[in-house]
């Protein structure tokens, strides 16, 4: 599902490759635009689903109840000839109705069988092709020069706030205390595997545990679950947020921390990282209307930082010790991004 105004970034909600995407538009309730600033209220919802038996991608779009949406059925690739879709692609469908939650994002939608007034959800042709099976562009970090990243990600905070404000039926929750327990276990394994990093890892664990005790009450929101710069791809309408098949419920600081940690470990100029981090935190606070818990953000960042360092041990590639030490050496830079 794509969320965004014509001139603002959009968000793609992946349905895990399942062709049953009937209820996905419910991921973004009609009331969501009212929760956002005026500049973000012209949101639209787009749901993509790929039919495995035909190789076609279907798209259901909706803007607001006052405007008729555009929808589409198109082949997976522009280079591949369009395959005929099933007869149902020309029928009209009603908005999704309530029902039991399944693997895809949202409840099932009943098939339209009546002959009343035209529905807001209709299927037509489109000249573009994108969706869970095919990204609409190249990764944003590759599509623009490093100096252009701060401007290209200026509205990223508002985009993430829209995801957090959405109502999605999910069965998984993120609990920070559980993450902290896992962090202690991974830290112990890192130290046993590479003793020279003992003091550095101990300092990170101590700081993370201390900040956990200073955090306020955790808010629960709908999280992206795998939020980082590589999840943004370019499109004519702006950055598109993809890969939402890891969505969970949890504190919004989890998503923010993951993005900032991954940003700190990237090979980018320090000033670019600082500008992107500042833009994300500032725009998120404005769009969400809430204050970010600094202590909880640092706790989640410490957890994510050690998790990414632990990947070197898990992969055990040649030279993993050197790569691990390099990443651990960026802890101070990562901490500075949290306060940008």
Confidence of residue 107 (pLDDT cuts 50, 70, 90): very low
Distance between CA atoms of residues 117 and 236, nearest Å: 34
Q: In the β-sheet with 240-241, what is the strand arrangement from edge to edge? A: 72-75, 56-62, 45-51, 2-3, 10-12, 240-241, 232-233
Phi, psi of 49 (to 5 degrees): -145, 135
Confidence of residue 134 (pLDDT cuts 50, 70, 90): very low
Around Cβ 213, how many Cβ atoms within 10 Å?
8
Token pair of 120 as six digits: 């807001």
Residue 136 confidence (pLDDT): 52
All residues at 6 or more sequence positions from 171 whose CB lies less than 8 Å from its CB, including other chains: 101
Which among 237, 57, 47 has a CA at the least distance from the CA of 137? 237
Distance between CA atoms of residues 74 and 92, nearest Å: 16
Contact present, 155 and 6 (Cβ < 8 Å) = no
Confidence of residue 42 (pLDDT cuts 50, 70, 90): low
Comparing 112-121, 135-144, 306-315, 331-340, which segment has the lowest mean pLDDT? Answer: 112-121
Residue 34 confidence (pLDDT): 54
Q: In terms of DSSP bridges, do strands 240-241 and 10-12 run parallel, antiparallel, or are they unpaired?
A: parallel
Three-state SS for 46?
A: strand
Residues belonging to the chain? 340
Which among 188, 333, 205 has a CA at the least distance from the CA of 270? 333
> Who has greater pLDDT, 317 or 41?
317
Question: Over the stretch 191-210, which tens digit does the pLDDT of each residue have?
Answer: 999 999 999 999 999 999 99
Mean pLDDT of the chain: 73
The residue-averaged pLDDT of 32-38 equals 52
Which among 64, 130, 60 has a CA at the least distance from the CA of 89? 60
Question: Over the stretch 140-186, which tens digit does the pLDDT of each residue have?
Answer: 999 999 999 999 999 899 999 999 999 888 989 999 999 999 999 99
Residue 26 confidence (pLDDT): 43
Confidence of residue 112 (pLDDT cuts 50, 70, 90): very low
Distance between CA atoms of residues 278 and 306, nearest Å: 23
Question: Over the stretch 203-236, which tens digit does the pLDDT of each residue have?
Answer: 999 999 999 999 988 899 999 999 999 999 988 8
CB contact burial 232-261 (16+ within 10 A = b; e otherwise): bbbbebbbbbbbbbebbbbbbbbbbbbbbb
Within 13 Å, how many C-alpha atoms sit on residue 194's CB side? Answer: 21
Distance between CA atoms of residues 17 and 31, nearest Å: 27
Question: Over the stretch 46-100, which tens digit does the pLDDT of each residue have?
Answer: 444 443 433 334 343 334 444 434 444 333 333 333 344 444 433 334 444 444 3
Question: Over the stretch 256-307, which tens digit does the pLDDT of each residue have?
Answer: 999 999 999 999 999 999 999 999 999 999 999 999 999 999 999 999 999 9
Query: Domain map of the chain by residue range?
Result: 1-134, 143-228+245-338
Residue 40 confidence (pLDDT): 52
**What CATH code would you report for 143-228+245-338?**
3.90.1200
| Residue spans of beta strands (DSSP E) within 4-52 | 10-12, 45-51
Residue 168 confidence (pLDDT): 86
Contact present, 9 and 49 (Cβ < 8 Å) = no
| Long-range CB pairs of 240-243, under 8 A, 24+ apart, other chains included | 240/2, 240/9, 240/10, 240/11, 240/12, 240/135, 240/136, 240/137, 241/9, 241/10, 241/11, 241/12, 241/159, 241/160, 241/163, 242/12, 242/14, 242/135, 243/12, 243/14
Comparing 22-36, 104-118, 186-200, 262-276, which segment has the lowest mean pLDDT? Answer: 104-118
Distance between CA atoms of residues 32 and 54, nearest Å: 34
């Amino acid at each position: 599902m794509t969320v965004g105004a014509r001139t603002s970034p959009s968000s793609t909600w992946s349905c895990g490759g399942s062709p049953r995407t009937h209820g996905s538009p419910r991921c973004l309730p009609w009331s969501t635009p009212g929760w956002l600033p005026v500049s973000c209220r012209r949101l639209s919802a787009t749901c993509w689903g790929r039919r495995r038996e035909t190789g076609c991608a279907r798209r259901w779009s909706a803007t607001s109840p006052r405007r008729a949406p555009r929808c589409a059925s198109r082949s997976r690739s522009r280079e591949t000839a369009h395959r005929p879709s099933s007869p149902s692609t020309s029928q009209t469908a009603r908005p999704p109705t309530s029902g039991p939650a399944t693997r895809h994002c949202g409840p099932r939608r009943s098939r339209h069988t009546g002959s009343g007034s035209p529905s807001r959800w209709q299927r037509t042709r489109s000249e573009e092709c994108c969706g869970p099976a095919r990204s609409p562009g190249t990764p944003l970090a590759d599509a623009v020069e490093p100096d252009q990243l701060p401007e290209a990600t200026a509205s990223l905070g508002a985009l993430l706030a829209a995801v957090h404000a959405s109502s999605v039926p999910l069965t998984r929750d993120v609990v920070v205390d559980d993450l902290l327990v896992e962090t202690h276990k991974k830290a112990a394994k890192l130290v046993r595997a590479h003793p020279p990093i003992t003091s550095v890892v101990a300092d990170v664990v101590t700081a993370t545990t201390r900040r956990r005790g200073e955090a306020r009450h955790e808010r629960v929101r709908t999280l992206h679950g795998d939020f980082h710069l590589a999840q943004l791809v370019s499109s004519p309408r702006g950055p598109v947020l993809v890969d939402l098949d890891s969505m969970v419920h949890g504190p919004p600081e989890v998503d923010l921390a993951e993005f900032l940690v991954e940003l700190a470990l990237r090979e980018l100029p320090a000033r670019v990282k600082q500008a992107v981090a500042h833009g994300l935190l500032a725009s998120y606070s404005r769009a969400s209307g809430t204050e970010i818990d600094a202590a909880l953000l640092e706790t989640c960042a410490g957890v994510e930082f050690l998790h990414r360092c632990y990947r070197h041990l898990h992969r055990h590639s040649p030279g993993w010790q050197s790569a691990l030490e390099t990443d651990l050496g960026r802890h101070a830079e990562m901490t500075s991004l949290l306060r940008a």
